[in-house]
Amino acid sequence: MGWTYRGIGLALLVVVLWAVPAHADDELFEFTDPRITESSGLAVSPTHPGIVYTHNDSDAGAVFYAVDSSTGRTRAAYTIANAEARDWEGMAAYRDASGRGVLFFGDIGDNLDGAWPDISVYKVTEPARLRGGTVSAVRYRFRYADQARNAEGLMVDPRTGRLYVVTKEFDGLVYAAPRQLRTDRVNVLKRVGSAPTMATDAAFAPDGSSFVIRTYFSATLYRKIDDEISGVPMPMLRQAESITYTADGKALLTGSEGKRSPVVRVPLPESAVPSPSPTPKAADVPTASPAAQPVASESAGPNTGLMIALWLGVAVGAVGIIVGIARWAGR
């Protein structure tokens, strides 16, 4: 019966999320391409100014789109010939030591929490020209060191090129990939920290000085693993699935699923932007300093208050419905 309660609760959450209209303030653009129906991952191009990449959720093929951030129009679409899209849930991008753009696509979703023996991440060299067509990828297979997880957050530290996976669970977790990835065997993801409840995406800042984790309702900035900087108020979207930093690292871009879904720009509070070290050193796993103290959060503002009241009401109503169903089922 526990699975029944959980399924009912998640179903109610999805219904309510789709009933909430998108918040138009600070909207940067809408995806105009009719093929983009479930934008689940988002990343700013490391080498093409004004371009963002996105991909659909599962059952849409191994395709990603280069989109003009000033118009929302697709500039190019690429099919990854040697990849499958079982449940693509996130992407990440960075510029490697040679200056090339690198894109990662995470086939990391597992709504049955253990249905797949392993998950995959595909690495693609960013196309030098936005012409569309077919590209190839390097596939890396992963398994968790402890147990199978459902995840939607994928991020890469631009200082080291190391991948991290953030789980979408009530007790969210952050896992680090090995420093050196292997294609001839399954790589093991090791737990390195905690994450907010039901994280839907994550991303590192362009300089690696911070990272953000997004949930359906909010976003949290971190200086290091488990070292929180500040919460950031998020706009109300139907199904908040994606987040990334702008190229200058001064704002966040967040998106939603659905046709003509919006991408909204959210400026970062000045106090929430950490000062990068003048000579940053690559770390195997960024761990929290015992002496580090979180910076006080900025005022959430009226929109956040409204969202909190809305979701509290939804939660109370959902609990009531679930209890009623449970009593009926127990007869």
Digit-coded pLDDT (tens) for 51-101:
999 999 876 789 999 999 999 999 999 999 999 999 999 999 999 999 999
Digit-coded pLDDT (tens) for 92-136:
999 999 999 999 999 999 988 777 889 999 999 999 999 999 999
State how far the Cα of 318 lies from the Cα of 323, in Å rounded to an integer: 9
Torsion sign, CA atoms 300, 248, 257, 214: negative
Digit-coded pLDDT (tens) for 208-247:
999 999 999 999 999 999 999 999 999 988 888 899 999 9
Q: Does domain 24-299 have CATH number 2.120.10.30?
A: yes
How buried is residue 184: exposed, middle or buried, by Cβ count under 10 Å (0-12/13-18/19+)? Answer: exposed
* Annotated domain spans of the chain: 24-299
- pTM for the model stands at 0.79
Beta sheet of 199-204, edge-to-edge order: 199-204, 211-215, 219-224, 227-232
For tokens 């990449």, what's the residue?
A: 53
- Bin 172: left if φ > 0, else alpha if -120 < ψ < 50, else beta: beta
- Any idea of the CA torsion for 307, 34, 32, 202, to the nearest 10 degrees? 50
212-217-218 Cα angle (round to 5): 30
